[in-house]
Structure 1
Amino acid sequence: MTTSFKNDDEITEIIRGSETILDKNTQDLKTINTKLDICSDHLSVYGYAMFDPVWKGLYNTYARGVTIRLLTEITKDNIDHCKKLCSIAEVRHIDNIKGNFGIGDESDYRATPKIDSINFAPKELIKSTVKTFVEQQQLFFDMLWEKSISAEQRIKEIEYGIKREFIETINDPVKVKTIALDLLSNAKKEILIIFSDSHLINIEANRELIEILQKKQEDKNVTIKMIFSSDTKTEILDLINVKGKSKDKRGWSHSTTGLEFQKMQPKMNTGVSIFVIDGEYSLSIESNPKSSLGEFNLFGLSSYSNSQSTVMSYISIFQLIWMQNSLHLQLRQANKKLKLYNKIQKEFIDTAAHELRSPITPIISLASMLSPNREVQNQEEYNSLVEIIVRNAERLNSLAKDLLDVTKIESHSMNLKSEVFDIVNLVKDIIEGHTTSLKFDTIKNIQIVFTSNGLEKLNVKGDRTRIIQVFENLLDNAIRFSDEFIQTRQEILRREKSMIQIIIDKSTTHDNSSAHLLTCIKDNGPGIDSATMPKLFKKFTTQDPNGNGLGLYISKGIVEAHGGKIWAKNNPNKDGASFFFTLPMYIK
């Protein structure tokens, strides 16, 4: 049955009956001269490829030189049929195409309803040659054709599991927000966000975004990195602080998940916020400057993509901003350190100048008293002046050496000689030298006791001279403060001996992976006052008015250069202080 509508040479027909439709289509294929465009759903493709009369009609049309374009949805179920059709037509894929229509020579349009199965033949056909209507449908087909992808690409996606890349421009704020929340909710590994405008998260409608981020923060598998504009950071933290969770000082709940954020430098703020999820999806959102805080359309033009090149570009932008922020922070910290260093250097120079002036002043004044133009009353006075000059010259020489050592430590240029030596014998030699000098001192009443816990030999590899310097500094301090303590109480303790203990022992790490030497030098002097303890090993720190405050600093530098540690503590019951240091032992 056929119903026709005619207008001059233009005609529109409705043809009914499956056999009639088949005969009409196969006959009309013979009249097409140059071009045939077909749009078909995924089920109708089966009829073109497998129903013999239709296939023969299409094949003969192709053989006559007619260009055939077929637009359909290629699926894993119809892929073989589509491959067959590729031999006679240019086939392209578009998702979710519905209905079936064709246009011959851009002048003859026909369409059938959507079918529900491959075995169901259409029972109605609309055929029209009305020019305006055909042109409209041809334009519609061409638009779909431009949005489609090649059959070759779609077949590869199906057969090899390749994910199709896309770039979508969106101007619908509702859709943009839905995509953003969906991406964040489904993140599995990494979330990178640049918040360039506080409008994006400033209103109640977007609390969902913050809530999702809070949940993802608790996911141990997801790393979150965010870059904020200066105003956005405050807005985000204000929103997060509304939640009744345990917060750190930044407003985020404590979590084992890596969460980092940085502040964007103003010149880097482009007004575009960027989301990159799992290195696979990107969403860039322009803020809408015309929207008020109460409006929902605060999202401007947006771009959504899974294109690898696009996503990698956004990752590079994020990493560049992150790196620049890190470098900026490091530069600020370096400037602070430089200012502090300049201050310390000035204080060092001022203190060093003062320390140098102390021995130089008596040397100059006393030396002038020994000039030929002045007379010395007797030899005893002469010898006394020379002795003072020599003593201050030695003090000056010692200070110069200490200052040189300080310079080497701070510039990391202290060259250590490497040799293996027995620390037990070395300590015995040092003690012997001090014991001998103490015997001839009628004022000091000090005894040095050495204990090596039964160990007759302990080998250490390092600079022997520098290790001696450490022992000498610590032992000199112990003697000096023990002597001072005795003299302040000499009416009571004149006949008592002050004892200094040197204890050496061997120790190992908890896993027995390495052994080291532990040395303790213990005195029963006045101890270390609480104000001095925190800065004990810093330059020019001393409780001795006659000391330069460099010995402990230098000792620390030497011990650490050997891979050891040094520390001190007061003894119980206010009975002096103990200094400890470790050195790696030499084991063949």
Structure 2
Amino acid sequence: MKFTPPSEATNAFHSSEMMGKDMVETLTWVVDKFDACLDHREISLLLAKGEIRKGLLKLNVGKNVRVRILTEITNENVSEINKIMPSAEIRHLDNIRSNFVVADGRQYLGYAFSNIAQPQGLSTNTKAIVEAHQFLFEFLWNASVPAEIRMVQLEKNLPVEKTEILYGQENIVKHFLLDLKYAKERFDSCTDFTGPSLFVDSPIWSDYAELPKRGIRLRFITEITRENMKYCEKLLKVCELRHLEKVKGNFGIIDGRSYGAGSSAKEGEAPVQLIRSNIRAYVEQQQYFFETLWSKALPAERRIEQIQRGTDEDFIDTIKDPYEVQKLTYELIKISRVEILIVFATSNAFLRQVRAGSFKLLEQAAADNGVNIRILSPSNKKILSFTQRYDKSTFKFHNQIKVRHLKEDLQTKISLLLVDKKYSLAVELNDDTKDRTVDAIGFSTYSNSKSTVLSYASIFETLWRQSELYERLEELNEELRLRDVAQREFINTAAHELRTPIQPILGLSEIVLKSNKDEDLKEYLTIIARNAERLHRLTNNILDVTRIEGKILRLDKGMVDLDNLISSLVTEYQTSIEQKKIGKVRNKNDDGVNKEDKDLFSQIHYSPSADVRSVMIEVDKDRIIQVLSNLINNALNASNKRRIVGNDEIFPIKVSMKKDNSSEEITIIVSDRGTGIDKSMNGKLFTKFATTTDGGTGLGLYVSKNLVEAHGGKIWAFNNSNGRGATFCFTLPLKTVAGRLSSEI
């Protein structure tokens, strides 16, 4: 039968026959869903009517209509419910008193029953009424229990699991007293510091105090303070009482089967809102929480004794909630009375607390309580700008707030807050890129343990002293730097001034030597020229040292045939030796060893490997000659020292060059059979002023090392394995080193 909805209309019924007929007619045209809300009596009456039961069965089997029935399932109607469960979704709701049907979301049927009058009914398709009751049905349906669960409860005589919210202090007290009446074994309570007054100064006290007489165990957790101690002492007479620092929440559990939690309340007043639940899983969870807190709590007797003596029990708490950590930070600053010590893990940690308002609280603590505050933190421009005001005498509390800056090697991953050497808060840094503290921190530990707090205080004092030393060292380093700059400028100026008169002395003495035939005069002129040459090399070395240390030494690179350069230099040395004139040109090494002209019982041999002949390399030609000349002069000097009077033995000096294909380098080697490297030079051979000679300055090898490294190479030396002489080596890259060409070093 097809249903044709009329215009909106409402009809009233005044007998059960008329209502039954209307219900049967509705069942004939429903095509989508049939929702019925019936009390425990009406469900039995309707299902007892054969036509209605058949109509319901046809909806599910023949038409595939969704049938939902909401009722109160009791022992009296459970058999009728079982008959229609295969063809309908059925749910249970305690104490339901409504009787209505919504068909296809467009027709409403409502019924009212009375013991003294005929049943009354209403049928309407008025949209507003239908939608209102459809909404009501959905709300009740979502709050109900599936019939299968309810039937198990009836079979095993279990209470209906539900959660409800109670409002109003009188209503809450009434239900609380009712719960106490039905308690059988135990009653566990956990409240904040206001809880004891609620129990003692309220209508529930007399009933609560009577529970132990019925054999019921009472356990109570709260924060015992000086203010609520009188209530706690009274509680202690009837229950087991324990103290837990800063405990939050107000809840109770009766017999492990019923849980209640109230909103925060004023002292001595009941809460205005209470959640009650007997859902087993939820109650068991809350019971577990209570047992955990109970195991950590302190017996009330000990806490009361501490308050009376003015002492605190040691504790160490781990805090996971970052919001709780920030809140605790504020509270600790507010309760400070003597001193606050802070270590920030990073500069960002410092700035996050500036944004969070902690520094305003610190300044307030200094103003209100005269608290002295010391802060250690890494620094940056923002922090330096922010903390400058604490250094100014115009700042009101500049003597109370001190900030020092940590160096990187003193930084940690933990920020510390120490208050009055009584409390410590250590906060782990989790993600330093975050803008807010609550997003940046991880676990935190909060403690009043004396050993813990004093250990942190000792660490702080150590860091404070070290930061003070660093600041002083920085000041001294700056003074030394300025002195060093002035000294280098003076030496540079002096070297330039010395070189100016040396040039004409060398030039004129050379001219006179060539033109003068007087042997005695030649000897004097030779001495003058030799010492002028020595002074010339010394001033050049000094200038090179100042350029190196001032990072202004420049290389003038060009393509050079290195084999030809070395060969020419060695030939020049060998010719000078053979002519016994090395003293006129290069008989002094760069360390300035002073020797008279004499026969040098040495020979210089150059033997490059075949693969380096005619190799072109990009270097500063004059600087490479300077390095190689210095090494050859040192070798000649060492060989000459080895000479034994009356012994004409020749001590050859070998210069060689080879190519390393794997590293693309050229290695130049100068080896002698002289006295070798003194053991005292180990580790400092290429440093400034390192020398074992009486007249040397120890600058030659230092300059050579820097020139080689400026080319991208390296230099080293070692004594020969046969115990005679030493070998010096340096490398030059075959490829141009990026950024080195004509650049500063």
Which bracket does the TM-score occupy, shorter chain normalised? 0.3 to 0.5
Name the larger-Rg structure.
Answer: 2
